[in-house]
Structure 1
Amino acid sequence: MSRSVLVTGGNRGIGLAIARSLAEAGDKVAYTYRSGEPPAELADLGCLAVRCDITDPEQVEQAYKEIEEKQGAVQVLVANAGVTRDQLLLRMSEEDFATVVETNLTGTFRVVKRASRGMLRARSGRIVLISSVVGLLGAAGQANYAASKAGLVGFARSVSRELGSRSITCNVIAPGFVDTDMTRALSDEQRGAIVKQIPLARYAAPEEIAATVRFLASDDAAYITGAVIPVDGGLGMGH
């Protein structure tokens, strides 16, 4: 049965791979994007593009109304939208810290809270939050990003306890280094140094993160909630 799905930040990178994977599986997929143009490949799959900045509560509400009108209440939410403002602690501004937390953590709170309304009425739902191995390991120059991504773990586990009795699951995926435009911008030397830390000795493909999302959103994962699933090539093992 085709479900109503929302992927935040679905216009590029990991989010694009997730939206494409769920659409190819037969779901009705909406995705948010903040700037630029919606990707043609998602339009070809019939996905609904919704411009929305998740740091703005009014835009979030409007996005949900549009999605509900066009494809029904959200049954599967993938909270993927996020930003980075990397800087060493002593040079990091209040704005750099607040912007990252507001988008990555508070923005996720907004979209999950709004989706939970329909899920509670339906007594079912799947929520998947995209965190990061950095939220488990920490990283120099990413105190803001690591704090926001670590916060998703506590948030998801609290949500899973609150909503579990209504057959709503909430899980976290912690990707490692993924081959996207962001990581391709690194120098060969930087990429090489990162790969040396990864037991599987390679970057992940975005499709490997998407495959894990697809599993957690499926009936096969109906008894998994409050879990943190690493998809990191072994980089963060033990955390």
Structure 2
Amino acid sequence: MAEHEASARRAPCCALVTGASRGIGAAVARRLARDGAGLIVHYHSSRDRAEAVAAECLALGAPFAQVASADVRSSADIQALKESLEQAGRMPDILVHAAGTAHYGLLEDLEEEAWDDIQHVHLKAAYGLAKRFGPTMSWRRSGRIVHVSSVWGVVGAAGEAAYSAAKGGLNGLTKALARELAFAGVTVNAVAPGLVETDMLAELALSELAELRAEVPMKRFADPDEVAELVRFLTLGDAGYITGQVIGLTGGWRM
């Protein structure tokens, strides 16, 4: 029993964080680096930002931090990413899927292409990542997967039908994967923040942001570092018996 518990507490040595060039993904990468995890800083097009985050991770104590480009909507890109990490001996012990995009507008104005893009970035990508990196975690009998979801995947949001549907599907996938991988000691959880101070809020007017902020009991939005702290607990903390959970982080806004 003691040996099992010690193994469960052991900090995994390599974390792959998607969408790590900015926002929540970048905050997660930096937070895991502070606890000594090596980082694979994934990006799609913002190489300069990703390299800056990787440099920060090294300065914070990460034993290594490399950038890796892939379009997570593409199965071929995810497969290529897997093969490159496998060849480098850096298959992740931790997988955090934080890549994401948003779309604001009524469903009647939502084109099918935009709908598909949202589903692919959030949900299809999570499937592709788990399919390619989950088996190695199972074989090792150790691993942590965290999906960055949203409160809108739990309660829905008018004007964000595609985003709400994708995050709701991500929550369902989280629970299903948790059941599939539990036998191997691999945990799968989702964090579901409310509004977070990132550039994804840029499309909202200041008046809209003020109205939303007033609805939050704590009268502020979350900081990306607060989301990262929860991810750190689920991946590097003593959270080996927590799996299949969608954990809210809303300042009391949605309970």
TM-score higher than 0.5: yes
Q: How far off is 1:71 after superposition?
A: 4.8
Query: SS state of the match for residue 83, structure 1?
Result: coil
| Distance (whole Å) between structure 1 residues aligned to residue 171 and residue 12 of structure 2 | 29
The answer (yes or no) to whether the contact 2:145–2:189 under 8 Å persists in 1 is: yes
Q: 1:136 aligns with which of 138, 154, 170?
A: 154
Whether 1:180 aligns to 2:198 is yes
Percent of paired sites with the same residue: 37
**Which ranges in structure 2 are unaligned for 5 or more consecutive residues?**
1-10, 59-63
Q: Does the C-alpha gap of structure 1 residues 173 and 129 become closer, same or farther in structure 2, counting only changes over 3 Å? A: same
Write the deviation string for residues 35-67 of structure 1: whole angstroms up to 9, x where unpaired.
122331422424211110011111111112222
Q: 1:74 aligns with which of 71, 78, 92?
A: 92
Q: How far off is 1:163 after superposition?
A: 0.7
| Distance (whole Å) between structure 2 residues aligned to residue 95 and residue 154 of structure 1 | 23
Q: Where in structure 1 do 4 or more consecutive aligned residues deviate above 4 Å?
A: none
Q: Choose 68-77 or 58-67, whichever is displaced more.
A: 68-77
Query: SS state of the match for residue 199, structure 1?
Result: coil
Q: How far off is 1:219 after superposition?
A: 4.4
Q: Does the C-alpha gap of structure 1 residues 175 and 71 become closer, same or farther in structure 2, counting only changes over 3 Å? A: farther
Whether 1:43 aligns to 2:55 is yes
- For 2:172, the equivalent position in structure 1 comes to 154
Amino acid aligned to 1:181: D
Query: SS state of the match for residue 121, structure 1?
Result: helix
Q: 2:43 aligns with which of 33, 47, 51?
A: 33
The answer (yes or no) to whether the contact 1:17–1:207 under 8 Å persists in 2 is: yes
Amino acid aligned to 2:17: V
Q: Choose 163-172 or 34-43, whichever is displaced more.
A: 34-43
The answer (yes or no) to whether the contact 2:12–2:94 under 8 Å persists in 1 is: no
| Distance (whole Å) between structure 1 residues aligned to residue 133 and residue 31 of structure 2 | 21
- For 1:24, the equivalent position in structure 2 comes to 34
Query: SS state of the match for residue 164, structure 1?
Result: helix
Amino acid aligned to 2:32: L
| Distance (whole Å) between structure 2 residues aligned to residue 109 and residue 195 of structure 1 | 33
Instruction: Map 1:195-214 to 2 at 5 A.
Output: 195-214=213-232
RMSD over equivalenced CA pairs, Å: 1.4
Q: How far off is 1:104 after superposition?
A: 0.7
The answer (yes or no) to whether the contact 2:12–2:236 under 8 Å persists in 1 is: no
Write the deviation string for residues 155-200 of structure 1: whole angstroms up to 9, x where unpaired.
0111111110110000010011111122255332111101111111
| Distance (whole Å) between structure 2 residues aligned to residue 41 and residue 89 of structure 1 | 36
- For 1:4, the equivalent position in structure 2 comes to 14
**TM, length-normalised to structure 1:** 0.94
Query: SS state of the match for residue 212, structure 2?
Result: helix
The answer (yes or no) to whether the contact 2:39–2:54 under 8 Å persists in 1 is: no
Query: SS state of the match for residue 252, structure 2?
Result: coil
- For 2:235, the equivalent position in structure 1 comes to 217
Write the deviation string for residues 96-144 of structure 1: whole angstroms up to 9, x where unpaired.
1111111110111101111112101101110000000111121111100
- For 1:53, the equivalent position in structure 2 comes to 71
Write the deviation string for residues 207-237 of structure 1: whole angstroms up to 9, x where unpaired.
0000000000024100000011111111120
Whether 1:90 aligns to 2:102 is no
